[in-house]
């Protein structure tokens, strides 16, 4: 069950799976219902960076999925004052190229004043720890080709592939 696994992970994180340096810098934890307002502020900033517009209903649905969907997880980065300064969302799923499941790091965002201070690295390493503890085989993600700062960090943590993402969206029909 999702809540049991997330509680176990939170306990493991507090037991030292994350380095002392990471713990001193920020607190990374599973998003909770009480984080909704802070998350929403950062979510809107994240959408603005990508010049994306989502309806209020879709943003609310995203939050609800983070809270209850068994394959979708979210973590927040919080500074010393308890203010949320970043988040990461993951979607775990089976894959056809391996024995274990994979984890798509779908959204990663750090508020502007906190960028280039190690917050994104902490969030990514939290996802890596989650993947190891959960027995996942792979963590992967996409980024824009012109996102040089992010790509420099990512190259320190993983390796790029030669794949290119193609996409075609289909509108959902009302049920």
Tokens of 111: 């508020």
Tokens of 140: 């992967």
SS3 of 94-138:
CCCCCCCCEEEEEEEEECHHHCCCCHHHHHHHHHHHHHHHHCCCE
Residue 136: the pLDDT is: 96
Q: What is the dihedral of CA 14, 102, 151, 118, to 10 degrees?
A: 0
> What are the backbone dihedrals phi and psi of residue 167, each rounded to the nearest 5 degrees, phi first?
-145, 145
Q: Tell me the pLDDT tens digit for each residue of 66-97.
A: 999 999 999 999 999 999 999 999 999 999 98
Query: Residue 110 burial (CB < 10 Å; 0-12/13-18/19+)?
Result: buried
Residue 171: the pLDDT is: 84
pLDDT tens digit at each of 175 positions of the chain:
445 555 555 444 444 444 433 333 579 999 999 999 999 999 999 999 999 999 999 999 999 999 999 999 999 999 999 999 999 999 999 999 889 999 999 999 999 999 999 999 999 999 999 999 999 999 999 999 999 999 999 999 999 998 888 888 888 776 6
Residue 13 · residue 129 · CB < 8 Å:
yes
Q: Is 0.95 surpassed by the pTM of this model?
A: no
Cα 107–110–113 angle (5° rounding)?
160
Residue 111 · residue 42 · CB < 8 Å:
yes
Residue 165: the pLDDT is: 84
């Amino acid at each position: 069950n999702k809540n049991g696994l997330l509680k176990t992970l939170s306990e493991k994180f507090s037991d030292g799976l994350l380095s002392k340096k990471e713990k001193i810098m920020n607190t990374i934890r599973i998003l909770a219902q009480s984080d909704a307002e802070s998350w929403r502020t950062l979510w809107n900033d994240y959408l603005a960076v990508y010049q994306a517009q989502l309806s209020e209903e879709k943003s609310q649905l995203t939050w609800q999925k983070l809270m209850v969907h068994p394959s979708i997880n979210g973590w927040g980065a919080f500074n010393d004052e308890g203010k949320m300064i970043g988040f990461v969302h993951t979607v775990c799923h089976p894959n056809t190229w391996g024995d274990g499941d994979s984890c798509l790091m779908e959204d990663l965002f750090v508020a502007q004043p906190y960028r280039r201070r190690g917050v994104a690295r902490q969030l990514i390493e939290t996802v890596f720890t989650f993947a190891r503890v959960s027995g996942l085989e792979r963590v992967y993600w996409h980024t824009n080709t012109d996102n040089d700062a992010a790509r420099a960090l990512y190259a320190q943590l993983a390796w790029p592939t030669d794949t290119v993402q193609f996409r075609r969206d289909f509108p959902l029909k009302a049920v």
